[in-house]
Amino acid sequence: MKYCFSTEVVDLDNQAPNRNKRESKYFWDELNHLMAAGGFTRIEIPYEPKWDFGGRSGIPRTLRSVTTKWETCEKYLAFLKENGIDGIDCVHLNPSLFCQGMLPVYFGASGHYGEEAIQFAAEMGCKSVTLSVTPPYFRVKALLGGEIREEEFLKETKALVEKLAASAKEKGLTLCLKNEFWGLLRGDKITAFLNELEGDVKLDLDTANLRIAGADVKAVLEANKGRIGIVHFTDTNFVDTDETWKTALPEFPAKRPTKVFTDLGEGSVDFAGIKAALEAAGYDGPVVLSPRNSNDISRSILRTAWFVKNL
C-alpha cells in the first residue's frame, strides 16, 4: 500500500482550544515536520477557498494561498521537500461551502473552484483530484426551498462532474468522487451514478463514510472494481440510528453528541479485510490516511503511525 497522510487532520471550522494558531503560516510550516517525523512523506490537501475570502493565506489549502506565500506551486513543492514532504498525492474539494443562496450560484461556484482545484492539483504533481459529489442533504434541501428535488439536482451534478472530468483529463488527472454519508449519493447509491457518467470518472472509496451510510464497503469496492481512483481510510464507531445524516450538522449528532469519525484504529472499521480486498482487486494507487478526531493533531499523527505499523 502506498500511504499518504491527509492534512484534513487540521480542523479549521469548529471551535477548539488553541484553534486560532491554525490560521498562521508558522503552524503549517511546523506541521510538515510533525507529519514527516510520524513517517508520512506524502500528503493530501483539502482545497478550501473559504480561507481565501478572509485573506488567511497562511493556510496552504488553495492556489491563492500558495502563490501568495511562495509565488509558485513549484516553489511550494520545493519548500515541502526541504521540510520532509516528498509530494502531494491528492487534492480534495468539498463544494458544500457554496450551497447557499441560489442553485445557479452553487453550480457556478463549484465549477469555478473545481477548475481551480484541478489546476492546483496538476501544478502540485498529483494524479488524482477528488470531489465531494453533493453537499449535505440538509443544505441541498434548504437551497431548493425546503423540498428535495433529487432528480433535478443530480442532473445538474452530473453535468458539473462530466465537465470537471474533462478538464481533469486534459491536465493528466483523474477526477474521483467522494460520497460522504450525509450526501444525496451516500452509500452504494454512488455506483449507479458512476455507471451513468460519461468520461473517465472514478470512485473515491472512503471507508467510514460508506459504513455510516449503511453500505458494505467491500461490496461497494467489488461493484466498482477497476474504477477505484483513490482510497480514504477513515474510521468510525458511529451507527446512524436516527437519520443524523439529514440534520444541519450531520457530523455532530444533535440528539446524541459523539465523535462521528475517530482517529484510525480507534473505531471499528475492518481495515485488514478492506486492505486484503483492495489488494485482491489489484488496486495500486494511494491510500489516504485521514484521522478525523483532530483536537490533538500531534497525537493523531502518531496514532496513525501506530495504526499503519499494526495493519
Partner 1 sequence: MANNIKLSHMSHWKTVPYKQIDNFRDYYYEDKSNACYYQDWDRILRYHKATGYDGIELAPWDLAEILGLFGTPAEFTAFAKDHGIEVSGMFHGCDDSHIPEKHDEVVAAGKAAVDTLKAFGGKHLNTCPGNNFYGNGPLDDAGLRTIASCLDEIGAYAEANGIQIGIHNEFFCVTNKENHRQLIELTDPRCVHYCLDTAQVVLMGDDVIDFYETYKDRICTFHWKDTADLGVPDEIRYAKDVEICDDGHRWFWEPGEGLLPMEELWKHVAAYGFKGWVTIEDDGSPDYLAAMALSSYYMKQVLGKIYW
List binders of partner 1 among 138-157 (CB under 8 A). 138
257 binds partner 1 (CB under 8 A): yes
Cα(131)–Cα(94) distance, rounded to whole angstroms? 6
Q: Which grid coordinates belong to 265? A: 484504529
**Size, binding site for partner 1 by CB under 8 A:** 37
Cα(262)–Cα(206) distance, rounded to whole angstroms? 14
SS3 of residue 198 by DSSP:
coil
* Choices 14-22, 35-43, 151-159, 200-208 (CB under 8 A): range interacting with partner 1: 14-22
Nearer to partner 1 among residue 219 and residue 252 (C-beta): 252
SS3 of residue 283 by DSSP:
coil
Nearer to partner 1 among residue 252 and residue 280 (C-beta): 252
Closest to 285 in 3D by CA, of 232, 210, 219? 232
Cα pseudo-dihedral 99, 100, 103, 108, rounded to 10: -60
The continuous run of DSSP H or E covering 190 comes out as helix 189-196
Nearer to partner 1 among residue 192 and residue 252 (C-beta): 252
Nearer to partner 1 among residue 56 and residue 92 (C-beta): 56
57 binds partner 1 (CB under 8 A): yes
- Looking at 20, 102, 146, 147, which residue binds partner 1 (CB under 8 A)? 20
* Choices 125-133, 223-231, 267-275, 288-296 (CB under 8 A): range interacting with partner 1: 288-296
276 binds partner 1 (CB under 8 A): no
- Looking at 33, 72, 105, 258, which residue binds partner 1 (CB under 8 A)? 258
- Looking at 2, 18, 105, 125, which residue binds partner 1 (CB under 8 A)? 18
Q: What are phi and psi of 262, to 5 degrees?
A: -115, 175
Closest to 212 in 3D by CA, of 260, 165, 141? 260
The continuous run of DSSP H or E covering 139 comes out as helix 137-143
* Choices 25-33, 109-117, 163-171, 276-284 (CB under 8 A): range interacting with partner 1: 25-33
246 binds partner 1 (CB under 8 A): no
Q: Which grid coordinates belong to 283? A: 488496486
Torsion 39-45-46-48 (CA) sign: positive
Nearer to partner 1 among residue 18 and residue 72 (C-beta): 18
Contact residues: partner 1, CB under 8 A: 12-21, 23-27, 54-58, 68-69, 100, 138, 247-249, 251-252, 254, 256-259, 293, 295-296
